[in-house]
Every structure is written in C-alpha cells, then in structure tokens.
Structure 1
C-alpha cells in the first residue's frame, strides 16, 4: 500500500513539473496584449512602467527601431500603428502599438523575433 501511494505521488509530481515547463504556442493572428507577445484578443491598457526584470527600457524614436522589428510588426499586424518604442541594454524592444481601438505592448529582439514577457 505504501508503494502504491508513493508511486502515485511521484507520478503526479512529475506531471506537475512537466506541465509547468511547457509554454503555449504563440498565435501570430490575434491582437497584442501587454503581458505577452501575440496571444489573445484581450488587449490591456498600455500603462505599464517601462522597467522590466531584464533592465530599464529607454524610449527611442520610431525611426531608430531596426527594420527587422518593424517588418515583423507589419507582417504580424498589418493594421497596427506603432505609438512608442523602447529599448533596453540587451537590445530588446518594447513596442507600444494601437490596433483599432485596442492598445498593448509587444516585445521583440533586434532581429524581429517575438519575446514573451
């Protein structure tokens, strides 16, 4: 009986750690949100502080954003309007975008690859 209970506890513990390590696939066709890269149609207001765990984001002009990042934005969201852009010391870009009446933030590295925050 002890072995059965111990085995069940080990199996349940293993399943818990495996599900915690999995991350959902990113959906490029949905509206941007403030917390993640393209994920769901729920857009949060862009009132978040510019400070993240990866460092301080400093505001840059839209013209200073690399072409790879702006092209990636236009490919994922053709109708999105870039309102503000920020960069940190790791060359990660925070893009505040407006899509229709929704606003949110997206994160990308300097090559245009989306980052989940």
Structure 2
C-alpha cells in the first residue's frame, strides 16, 4: 500500500510539473519612416538634365508638379492621360528608386 501511495504521489507530482504556465516572449518591432522634406518649385526651376531624362524615360508625359529637397533631389509628378506617376531624380537626372 505504501508503494501505491508513493507511486501515485510521484505520478501526480510529475503531472503538475508539466502543467506549469510558460509566459511566451513577445517581441515588438518599431519602424520609422524617414521622409525628406520636399518643397514645391516651378517647372522652370527644374534642371535641363532632369527634363531631358524625363523626356527620354517617360515619353508623351506632362510634368504636373515639381518638388526639391535639401539634397538637390527632385520629386516629379507626371501624367499620361488619366494616369499619374511620381518619379524621383537627382540633380544630374539619374532616377532614384524609392
């Protein structure tokens, strides 16, 4: 009878050890969006190299608005019919992918 009671105590003790609650680790990721401030400029203030690249890369489009930031990068809003696009270039006319 002692062996039966001892066996029951060991089994119940083993089951209660497996029933322990484990707190899951929660990881959080924080992302920050950095956007350079662009100020609107007139179409005549856009360099010729940028206009040339725009004409070669996007034929039959119209320059709607132009913006410039402190790094001499240009944000150009162009349109072709009903479709509108935004293109980023540097002062030399190289297209920047964003």
Query: Is 1:100 equivalent to 2:81 in the alignment?
Result: yes
Cα displacement (A) at 1:53: 2.7
2:21 maps to which residue? none
Larger relative contact order, structure 1 or 2 (CA cutoff 8 Å, min sep 6): 1
1:55 maps to which residue? 36
RMSD of the TM alignment (CA)?
1.3
What is the CA deviation profile of residues 32-72 of structure 1, one whole-angstrom value per residue up to 9, with x for unaligned ones?
xxxxxxxxxxxxxxxxxxxx835200000000000000000
2:66 maps to which residue? 85
Gaps of 5+ in 1: 1-51
Spell out the pairing of 1:70-81 with structure 2 (5 A cutoff): 70-81=51-62
In the superposition, the TM-score normalised over structure 2's length comes to 0.64
What is the CA deviation profile of residues 62-113 of structure 1, one whole-angstrom value per residue up to 9, with x for unaligned ones?
0000000000000011201000000000000000000121001000000000
Spell out the pairing of 1:9-88 with structure 2 (5 A cutoff): 53-88=34-69
- Aligned partners of 2:83 and 2:36: how far apart in 1? 26
Aligned residues between the structures:
66
SS in 2 for 1:108: strand
In the superposition, the TM-score normalised over structure 1's length comes to 0.54
